[in-house]
Chains A and B, each alone.
Chain A
Amino acid sequence: DVKVTQSSRYLVKRTGEKVFLECVQDMDHENMFWYRQDPGLGLRLIYFSYDVKMKEKGDIPEGYSVSREKKERFSLILESASTNQTSMYLCASSFSGTGTTEAFFGQGTRLTVV
């Protein structure tokens, strides 16, 4: 079974802290994604990586950065957490190409910034 593991299920951080959200997948997927999910807004893409050290901005990259030093790991970084970054964060991975490219999701990290 494909597994996408997010490091924390729940996280509480203070305003101004640097926050790391980690995501690891075990299927040798090329693509990895970070989304945030807020009521009424659905899932919004923050960043996308299609290979090691490669990244593309999604729809809402402001206030976030990412790191992909190894194929299996994709980290989302909040440089200086703010209360408007309180949200559910979802990581996903998939193969690239035009074949079967279904995405597999982690269980999500519910981040609260106080």
Chain B
Amino acid sequence: SQQGEEDPQALSIQEGENATMNCSYKTSINNLQWYRQNSGRGLVHLILIRSNEREKHSGRLRVTLDTSKKSSSLLITASRAADTASYFCAPRSSNTGKLIFGQGTTLQVKP
């Protein structure tokens, strides 16, 4: 069973617009991480938010976490064509330590 479920599955926006991706999960977590994957490559870590944090920023990225709703969101502001990629959330289980990924959100940013 996959713990991280992203929504939407696909998103297409114009350059300069903001992109919001959502993630829901099922169990207790230590932290929740977001990753990016360019086509055919490995995943790259973007940002980590701990279970006792509600919001975190890194450059043009903003992540929120609501542990009561077991959900998180990733906002990319002022998107660029180079942001075109797949984005995955990965809750880290506080019980097992495993990182479980969902299907991801495929983001296309049109120039």
Contact = CB atoms under 8 A, between A and B. Distances in A.
A94 B35 CA distance: 14
B33 A102 contact: yes
A25 interface: no
A6 B101 CA distance: 20
B2 A102 contact: no
B98 A90 contact: no
Q: Is the interface on chain A under 10, 10 to 19, 20 to 34, or 35 or more residues? A: 20 to 34
B88 A42 contact: yes
A107 B42 contact: yes
Contact of B101 (A42, A56, A94, A102): A42
Nearest to B47: A102
Bin the interface of chain B by size: 20 to 34
Given A43-B88, A102-B33, A107-B41, A56 B48 contact: no
B30 A42 contact: no
A90 B98 CA distance: 15
Given A31-B97, A45-B98, A101 B31 contact: yes
Interface string A1-40: 0001000000000000000000000000001010100001
Nearest to B103: A42
Contacts of A58: 98
Contacts of A41: 103
Nearest to A35: B101
B21 interface: no
A35 B40 CA distance: 14
Interface in A90-114: 90, 92, 94, 96, 98, 100-108, 110
Given A4-B42, A98-B94, A102-B45, 9 more contacts: A33-B98, A40-B103, A45-B98, A48-B98, A103-B90, A107-B42, A108-B40, A108-B41, A110-B40
Interface of A: 4, 31, 33, 35, 40-45, 48, 50, 56, 58-59, 88, 90, 92, 94, 96, 98, 100-108, 110
